[in-house]
Chain A
Amino acid sequence: MKVLRPGTLGEARALIARPGHVAVGGGTVLQLGWASGATPPEALVDLSRLGLGDIAASADGGLTIGAAATLADIENDPQLSDTAPLLARAVRDIGAPGIRRLATLGGQIGWGAGCLLPALLALDARVFAAGSTDPVDMPLADWLAAPDGLVLSVTVPPQAPDATWTWRKIGLRAAFTPSVIAVAGLRSEASAALGAGGGPVPPRRLPVSEAAVAEGPEALRLALEAEIEAPDCIHRTGRYRARVAAAALTRGLFGTPRAPAAETSLKVPAAEPPPEGLRSLEGGPGGPEWHPRPDGRAKITGQAGYLTDARAPDMLVGRILRAGRPHARILSLDTSRAETLPGVAAVVTHADVPGLNAFGIMWQDQPALCHDVIRYEGDPVAAVAAVDEATAETALQAIEVVYEDLPVIASPAEALAEDATRLHQGGNLAAGFDLERGDVEAGFGAAAHIVEATYVTPRQMHVFLETEGGWCAPGDDGTLTVAVGGQHGGRDREQLARILDMPEERLHVITSPTGGGFGGKDELTVQPALALLALKAGRPVRLHLSRAESVLAGVKRNPMTIRMKTGCDADGRLLAQEVELVADCGAYASLSPAVAETALEHALGPYLAPALKTSGRLAYTNNGVGGAFRGFGANQMTFAIECQLDRLAALTGLDPVEIRRRNLRRPGMPGLMGHKVAGSERLAEMLAAAAASPLWSARAGPDGDPEGTGMALNFQGNGLGSLPQDDGEGELRLAADGAIEIASGLDEMGQGLATALQAVGAARLGCARSDIRPVYGDTQAAPDSGSTSASRGTFAAWSIARGAAPGFAEKVLALAADLTGVEATSLRLVPGGVAVAGTNSDAPIARFADLARHAGTALPRQKTAFAFPKTDYTDGNARFIHCYGATLARVAVDPVTGEVRLRALEMHTAAGPVIDLAAYLGQIEGGLIQGLGLTLTEDTLFREGRVLTTNLDAYMVPSIRDVAPSLRVTALEDLDADDPWGPRGVGELGIGAVTPAIANAVAAAIGGWPVAAPFSPEAILELATGSAAA
C-alpha cells in the first residue's frame, strides 16, 4: 500500500479516480477495517494537505464546515453551541477524544456509516462536493444515497431556536462504543425532522415518522418502530434497535414517559449500626498508610521493562500459525516454502518438539504444536522466526496445511450427547462432580416456598492490556532463557522442561513484570512455540500476540449454566437446595476442572440447609480454551445463590439482610464438604455492615428512572486447596549494595506483589520499606514460591517474611556486632541500618551499606519454606482459609434502553490486617469493576466454534464512563485471637459478589431478576415491561 499526499484538489481528484485508490481524512476507521481482515487498498490518497478544514459562518446564518475539519475542531467551535446545539451535543459522543482529533467530517460522510450522520440529516445539512463531472450541492440525504466525487464541505443551517431537539447514541457500553443506533430529532410547531442510523443501521431521514409527530407521542413511537429498518448483529437484534430508537426519540421530543411501576415486594432492611472495627478505606499522598509503589517510577516513565518491550539488534521476530478452524484433522503440513524465504531463520512444527508434545497444569492434554487434530481456532500448528514482522507474516502464509474439517462441538449439550464426536480419547466429559446430603425431595416437599431459575455466566476474557508475549534466548552454555509474562515461573519451567526434554536447571524463566494476568497467564501461553523457535534458530526471538490473536488463542472464563432450585419454610429457613452445573471447558482442560469444583464448593454460599444435592458436568467443546480467571468459579455460583436468597426474601416478606441472617453458617461449623475451615469468619459482621449501608435509603436521581439497591455476600478461599501441592520458599538477603532483598518466585502483574513484599519485610525486620528491594518473577533470582494465583500472594509474602526475618535479623545483627563492637543482643534493625536497642534514638550506628561492605562475600541470607494451610478433606478439593465480603450496588435502569447504570458500588471486606492500604483498595476496586464488566457488557461470543468478538471493538470492557461514580470500600481487620494464618489475600474477593448485587438491585428497581450475564438490555426491557419474574 502506498500513501499519496496530493497538494492540490485537481491532483487529489485525479488520484482518486484511479482504481484501488481511496481518499482518506483522519484514517481512523481504515485501521479498524484492516484489523478485522479487510485488505488495505492499493493506495491511500491522504487529503490532509488540501486545507479544507475551515469552519465559517454561512450565508443563511448557519455554518459551513470544511470536509477536513476534525470532529474535535467541530466540538471546539465557539459558534456551534448557538447555531446547532444538536450537532454540538452529538459530536461529543463520536469516538473518543484521541479519535476526534484525527477523524474528519468528510470521513464520517465518505465512510457513509458515521454516528454523526443522523444529527446532520435531521439538521438538513447540505453537501458541497467536487463531483465526478460537475460541482455538486445537494442535501446530505441525497448525497448518501448516491455519493458523487469528493466532499469539500458541509453546510449546516441554523437550528430553529424554538425547536425541541434530542440526540441519543445507544451503544454497547457507556462511552467510546460502537453504535447500536443513534437518533436525532427536532420538533417545532410547524415541522419535525428525524434521523436515525449508525453502526449497522444505514443513516436515514424518517419522513413517515416526521409526519406522525403531529399526532402525538404514541403515534410517533409506533411510526418509528415501523419505519426504522435495523438489522440484527451479534450483540443486539434489529427489533431492539428500532424499539429503543423509537422510545428515545419519543421521550426526547415529548418528555419523560412514566416509568413502569416496580412490582418488587423486596423489603428494605432496617437501619442498624455497622460492626465495631469496620473502617472506610481511604487514603492519598501524605497519608500515614499510603506508600508509593516500588515499581511506580519505572512504570510512569516508560521504563518498566515489560518482557514484550525487549529489543536487541540480533533479535528475531516470532509468529505462530493458528489453525483458524475449530475442529479438523491435519492431513498434511508443508513448511518447505516458508523455510527457504530470505530472512526466515527458523520454522518449527510438532516434529521439532523433542519431549512431550503436551502441556496443562492439571493434566497434559494441550499440544505445544498440533500434530494430528485441531480442537479450537487458536490451536497452534507451526511457528516462524524471521528478521522482521513482515517477513514472519509472509512466512506464515507460505506454510501449507491441508485440513479435513470435523464436526464442531459448539456447546456442552452437544458435547454430552450420546453420539457426540469425541474431542479427546476419554470422551467429552472433562470432569463430573456429584454430592448428595440429606433428603432433598423431602425438603422440597416440606417447603413453603420454592424458587427455581437457571443462571448463565459469560465467557469473560481477561483483557490484560499487555497481551501474551516476551522473548527467549539460548545461552552459550546450553541454557535457555524464557522471558514471558506469567504467574508461576517454577511451574512454567517444569512444563517447558517436559516439552523441550531439557533439565530444569538449564532453563531460566522470567515472568515479571507483566501487564496484567487475572488468571489468564497462569497456564503456558506462547512459551512452547517461542522456546522451540529460539532453540532452532540459535538466536534470541521475541513474540507478542496481537489482540486479535490473543482473543483467538488465550484462555477465557468457563461459561456456566447453573440451574438452582431452593426451598425454604414459611420463616425463610432453607430446607433444600439442588444445583445442576454445566460448564464449558473449551478444547483443553487447563485449570477448568478445578474451576468447576470450586464453583460447586460455593453451591450453598455461606448458608445452611439440611438437604443438598449438587451435580457438575464440565464438557470439552471446540469453543476456545477455558481456564483460570479471578474468582475461579466462586463468583459464578455466588451469582446464583445470592439471587435465590433475594427471591425467597420477596416470597417470605423478609428483607435481604434478615433472610441471610436466618440462614447464615456460624463460625466453627464445618465447610460444605464437612471439612474443617479456619477461624476468623466474619460473615455475620459483613451482613451487619451491609445492613448499615446508606445505599438502602439512597434517593432516586432527577431523571426519574427506576432505581434499586441490592446486596450479596461472598467468601473466597485462599490457596490451591486440599489436593494440589501448595507450598513454597522465599529468602531474605543483604545485597552487596546494602539493599535488603526479599526474594519470592511470585509475580508482579500489577496487583502489588512488590508493595506487599516490601511491606511485610519492613514490618517484620523493623527497617524502612525503602531499605527493601523486592526480587520476584525470575527462577534464577528468587526461590519458587508457588503460583501467583488463588489469592496466594499475601499469605506467601507474609510467610516468607515471618519465616526468614528472625534468622536474617540475627545474622545481620551479628555482622553489625562484628563491625561496631557492640554486642548483638544490644542491637536492633531500624530504618537505614542497625541501632543500639534500648535507646530512644533510631539513628543507625551502622548502615546496611556499611554492613554489606563489611560482609564482603559472606553476605547474610536466610531462606525459608512455607506450606499453605490445608483442610483435612481429600475426597475432593476444598479450601481452608477464606476471606469474606458483602457487596452493595445501587443501580438505575434506563426505561428507554434497558441499560443498567451503576450509581454506587460499596464493598465491605474482612480479610485480616491490611498490609498495604493502596494495594488492598486497588485489588477490591479493580475486582469490582472487572465484575461489573462480567455483569453488564463482557462476553466472548462464539458461533459454531468460531469467535465472533474478535477484538476490543466488539468485546466491551468497562470504559471510565461505565464504572460507578461512587465506590466505597471498608475493611474489618481483626482476626480471632488464636488465628495463626495472618492477613488473607484479596485478589479475588472484589469480583465475588458484584453480579448478584447488581442483579438484586435491578430486581429492586424493576421487579424481576436478570438471569443471564452479561445482562442484555433487551432482556432487562422485557423484565421491566413484562410481569415480574418469580
Chain B
Amino acid sequence: MADVAMNVNGEAVRAELPDNTLLVDFLRETLGLTGTHVGCETSQCGACVVHLDGEAIKSCSVLAASVAGRAVTTIEGLADGDALHPMQAAFNAHHGLQCGFCTPGMIMAGVDMVRRYRASGEALDEAAIRHELEGNICRCTGYHNIVRAIDAAAKAM
C-alpha cells in the first residue's frame, strides 16, 4: 500500500492505496469524481483525460502513486462555481457532444491545447486542433462540432 497525497481540484486529498491504483481509479472510486470516464483500458479513447499540473494527460495510464504531491484538475474542477469555463460553454453552444461520455476528456484536452499554444505563441488553427485531438475518440459526432467548439473557446479564453 502507498500513502498518496495530492491536490485535486484545489483540495488536498490523501489516501492509502494499493500501489497499482491508476490515477483514474483513485479519482473515480476513492474520491467519487465520476465525471472523468473510462472508455477502454488501453489509453486509446481519451475519455479519462485530466490535467496534471495543468497539462492534459490520460489518467488511465498513470499510477496514482507516481503523481503523489502533484496537482490534478478534473472536469468537476473546471467551472468557477456556476460560471462555466469558456471551453465548456463552447462545447454546449456548438453541439460538440451527443452522448457526452467522451466530453469531459475532450474539454480537458481542449483547455490544455489552447493554453499551451497561447504560451508558445503558435497559432491553434484547425489543423493544429485536429492534430491535438488525435488521442480522443468520439463515437457519436463526426468531430466537426468539437473542432468548432475548441476554435470558438480559444477565441473566448
Q: Does A366 contact B (CB under 8 A)?
A: no
Q: Does A437 contact B (CB under 8 A)?
A: no
Give residues of chain A (915-961) contacting chain B, Cβ–Cβ below 8 Å. Answer: 918, 921-922, 925-926, 928-930, 951-953, 957, 959-961
How close is B139's CB to chain A, nearest CB, in angstroms? 5
**Complex contact A929–B143 (CB within 8 A):** yes
Q: Does B157 contact A (CB under 8 A)?
A: no
Give residues of chain B (15-51) contacting chain A, Cβ–Cβ below 8 Å. Answer: 18-20, 22, 29, 32-37, 39-47, 49
A462 to B142, alpha carbons, bound, how many Å?
Answer: 15
Known: A296-B92, A301-B88, A961-B130. A925 touches B142 (CB 8 A): yes
Q: Name A97's contact: one of B18, B74, B76, B132 (CB within 8 Å).
A: B132
**Complex contact A292–B49 (CB within 8 A):** no
**Complex contact B20–A1 (CB within 8 A):** yes
Q: Does A226 contact B (CB under 8 A)?
A: no
Known: A96-B46, A952-B44. A101 touches B57 (CB 8 A): yes
Closest to B131 in A: A92
Collect the chain B residues with CB atoms within 8 Å of residue A44's CB: 19, 63
Q: Does A464 contact B (CB under 8 A)?
A: yes
Known: A293-B92, A295-B100. A102 touches B137 (CB 8 A): no
Collect the chain B residues with CB atoms within 8 Å of residue A95's CB: 135
A620 to B60, alpha carbons, bound, how many Å?
Answer: 37
Collect the chain B residues with CB atoms within 8 Å of residue A97's CB: 56, 109, 113, 131-132, 134-135
**Complex contact A922–B98 (CB within 8 A):** yes
**Complex contact B35–A101 (CB within 8 A):** no
Q: Name A302's contact: one of B2, B35, B41, B148 (CB within 8 Å).
A: B35
Q: Does A963 contact B (CB under 8 A)?
A: yes
Collect the chain B residues with CB atoms within 8 Å of residue A310's CB: 34
A128 to B63, alpha carbons, bound, how many Å?
Answer: 28
Total number of residue pairs linking A and B with CB closer than 8 Å: 250
Known: A96-B134, A961-B130. A299 touches B37 (CB 8 A): no
Give residues of chain A (76-126) contacting chain B, Cβ–Cβ below 8 Å. Answer: 76, 92, 95-99, 101-102
Collect the chain A residues with CB atoms within 8 Å of residue B131's CB: 92, 97, 175, 961
Collect the chain B residues with CB atoms within 8 Å of residue A5's CB: 65-66
Q: Count chain A CB atoms within 10 A of each CB in B60, B65, B138 and give the residue with the most.
A: B138
Give residues of chain A (14-37) contacting chain B, Cβ–Cβ below 8 Å. Answer: 26-28, 31-32, 34-36
Q: Does A699 contact B (CB under 8 A)?
A: no
A953 to B113, alpha carbons, bound, how many Å?
Answer: 24
**Complex contact A303–B95 (CB within 8 A):** no
Q: Does B123 contact A (CB under 8 A)?
A: no
Collect the chain B residues with CB atoms within 8 Å of residue A548's CB: 41
Closest to A463 in B: B139
Closest to B63 in A: A3
Q: Does B144 contact A (CB under 8 A)?
A: yes
Q: Does B13 contact A (CB under 8 A)?
A: no
Collect the chain B residues with CB atoms within 8 Å of residue A296's CB: 91-92, 95, 97, 100
Closest to A4 in B: B19
Known: A465-B139, A918-B95, A960-B136. A98 touches B57 (CB 8 A): yes
How close is A99's CB to chain B, nearest CB, in angstroms? 6
Q: Does A176 contact B (CB under 8 A)?
A: yes
Q: Name B57's contact: one of A102, A295, A463 (CB within 8 Å).
A: A102
Collect the chain A residues with CB atoms within 8 Å of residue B63's CB: 3, 27, 44, 46
Q: Does A787 contact B (CB under 8 A)?
A: no
**Complex contact A922–B100 (CB within 8 A):** no
Collect the chain A residues with CB atoms within 8 Å of residue B132's CB: 97
Q: Name B140's contact: one of A3, A285, A467, A922 (CB within 8 Å).
A: A922
* New A-B contacts (4) at CB < 8 Å, excluding given A102-B58, A300-B91, A465-B39: A31-B43, A306-B34, A466-B99, A952-B39
- 9 example contacts (A-B, Cβ-Cβ < 8 A) are as follows A2-B19, A96-B136, A99-B58, A99-B135, A301-B78, A951-B41, A952-B137, A953-B44, A963-B143
* Those 7 A-B pairs whose CB atoms lie nearest each other, nearest first: A302-B35, A96-B135, A750-B99, A515-B101, A299-B100, A750-B98, A925-B142
